[in-house]
């Protein structure tokens, strides 16, 4: 009787679902057939710095709040060592009327080494989906203004991650390269241009033959990301984590004009140097504009610190609160550098 009871208890224990692996662990990978989702909603506070681009817009030292941020990460275990994943992000900044998808990636991750004395090593590659939506903005005498967060370019990442787990503590590091492909997937509204010592308004530009909207051929870029991540499992329900990420964003550049110009509507254009043939003014204006944006000198580096506290609500559902602070350093025309850039948010993790 005692043996029968013991066997029944053992079978009942084996039949209970095991506590799911922690999705906040940087070395987490879904088992074959498993699906997971990580949905984050955050709010960011920004204070712009005194870059040349911000000064020209009289926006240096300005506060941008709230900046709403939404992230979604999905993954599927093709095998225990091969994962299909997608990562997407959307930002809405009402203070500068800038919104759109700032993150789009979809690819595969393969675990080369799994669990060798707690050590794991991954290789991954994914498509950069920045070309899903075109880059859009406007150009005026005070420079270029972005309307959305897309660079309009397709590309790909290749990267590697490795790490080790010691009982409850995990540490990992990653490095990756992003290559984008230049194209003309952009739409730029031309409001005015400063040239020849004066500001040419829209009416004058119409006479010269410059369209209201143009598209340009952007150069390809090569960017780098790297970082460190740590994780500690306090008990069955609570865990904490921290990370540091460096992102190198290269200067954008323009190779040429992709839009055909119109014929000038008048034979001559009045300028400070006198009346000049409209065709000559058009040619000088376009060449001067292209020279100015051949290298936009807008690259910047980000140094991102993140901390997370997570609670396992059920065996398959987890909620995490995260805080993130970013230091940055940019070139003189960068519109992305700040004096303060801080985000607070909550993330819901689910395993299916």
Assigned token pair, 65: 């709040």
Beta bridge partners of 329: 301
Euclidean distance between CA atoms 74 and 160, whole angstroms: 19
Is 342 within 8 Å of 307 (Cβ atoms)?
A: no
Query: Do strands 155-166 and 274-277 pair parallel, antiparallel, or not at all (unpaired)?
Result: unpaired
Q: How far apart, in whole angstroms, are the C-alpha atoms of residue 142 and residue 193? A: 9
What tokens appear for 16 in the block?
Answer: 């209970």
Alpha helices in 63-138 (DSSP H): none
The token pair that represents 325 in the structure block: 């602070």
Q: Are strands 186-190 and 193-195 parallel, antiparallel or unpaired?
A: unpaired
Q: Is residue 66 reached through a cis peptide bond, with omega within 30 degrees of 0 on the bond before it?
A: yes
250 DSSP assignment: P
Residue 4 has pLDDT above 60, yes or no: no
The answer to whether residues 198 and 272 touch, using CB atoms and an 8 Å cutoff, is yes
Are 73 and 87 contacting, i.e. CB atoms less than 8 angstroms apart? Answer: yes
- Per-residue pLDDT reduced to its tens digit, 278-295: 899 899 889 988 998 999
- Ordered alpha helix ranges (H), the chain: 2-15, 52-56, 202-208, 278-293
State the pLDDT confidence band at 20, using cuts at 50, 70 and 90: low
State the pLDDT confidence band at 61, using cuts at 50, 70 and 90: very high
Contact between 349 and 309 under an 8 Å Cβ cutoff? The reply is: no
Q: What is the pLDDT of residue 275?
A: 85
Which tens digit of pLDDT belongs to each residue from 98-136? 999 999 999 999 999 998 899 999 999 999 999 999 999
pLDDT 10s digits, 156-192: 999 999 999 999 999 999 999 999 999 999 999 999 9
Residue 315 corresponds to which tokens in the numbers above? 């065996």
- Going 20 to 24 to 29 to 33, the CA torsion angle's sign is positive
Give the SS3 label for residue 39: strand
CA distance 120 to 205: 60
Structure-block tokens of residue 94: 């009402």
Q: Indicate the pTM of the whole model.
A: 0.90
Give 6's pLDDT tier (boundaries 50, 70, 90).
very low
Distance linking the first and last C-alpha atoms of the chain: 39
> What is the distance between the alpha carbons of residues 135 and 115, in angstroms, rounded to a whole number?
43
Per-residue pLDDT at 193 exceeds 50: yes
**Which domains does the chain possess?**
29-182+219-253+295-351 (2.40.160.40)
DSSP assigned state of 117: T
Distance CA 244, CA 246 (A): 7
C-alpha of 169 from chain center? 29
């Amino acid at each position: 009787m005692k043996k029968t009871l013991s066997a029944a208890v053992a079978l009942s224990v084996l039949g209970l679902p095991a506590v799911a692996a922690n999705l906040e662990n940087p070395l987490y990978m879904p088992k074959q057939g498993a699906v997971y989702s990580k949905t984050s909603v955050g709010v960011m506070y920004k204070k712009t710095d005194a870059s040349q681009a911000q000064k020209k817009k009289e926006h240096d030292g300005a506060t941008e709040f709230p900046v709403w941020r939404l992230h979604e990460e999905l993954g599927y275990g093709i095998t225990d060592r091969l994962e299909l994943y997608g990562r997407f992000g959307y930002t809405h900044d009402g203070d500068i009327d800038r919104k759109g998808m700032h993150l789009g990636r979809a690819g595969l991750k393969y675990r080369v080494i799994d669990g060798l004395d707690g050590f794991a090593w991954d290789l991954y590659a994914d498509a950069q989906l920045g070309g899903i939506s075109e880059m859009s903005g406007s150009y005026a005498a005070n420079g270029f203004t972005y309307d959305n967060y897309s660079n309009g370019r397709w590309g790909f990442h290749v990267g590697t991650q490795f790490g080790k787990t010691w009982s409850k503590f995990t540490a990992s590091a990653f490095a990756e390269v992003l290559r984008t492909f230049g194209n003309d997937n952009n739409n730029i509204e031309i409001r005015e241009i400063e040239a020849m010592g004066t500001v040419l308004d829209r009416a004058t530009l119409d006479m010269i033959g410059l369209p209201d909207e143009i598209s340009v051929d952007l150069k390809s870029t090569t960017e780098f990301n790297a970082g460190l991540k740590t994780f500690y499992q306090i008990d069955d329900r609570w865990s904490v984590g921290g990370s540091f990420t460096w992102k190198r964003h290269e200067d954008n550049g323009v190779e040429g004009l992709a839009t055909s110009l119109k014929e000038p509507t008048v034979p001559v254009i009045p300028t400070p140097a006198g009346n000049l043939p409209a065709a000559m003014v058009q040619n000088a204006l376009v060449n001067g504009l292209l020279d100015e944006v051949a290298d936009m000198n807008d690259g910047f580096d980000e140094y991102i610190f993140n901390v997370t506290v997570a609670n396992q609500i059920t065996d398959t559902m987890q909620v995490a609160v995260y805080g993130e602070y970013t230091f940055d350093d940019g070139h003189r025309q960068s519109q992305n550098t700040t004096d303060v850039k801080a985000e607070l948010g909550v993330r819901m993790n689910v395993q299916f």
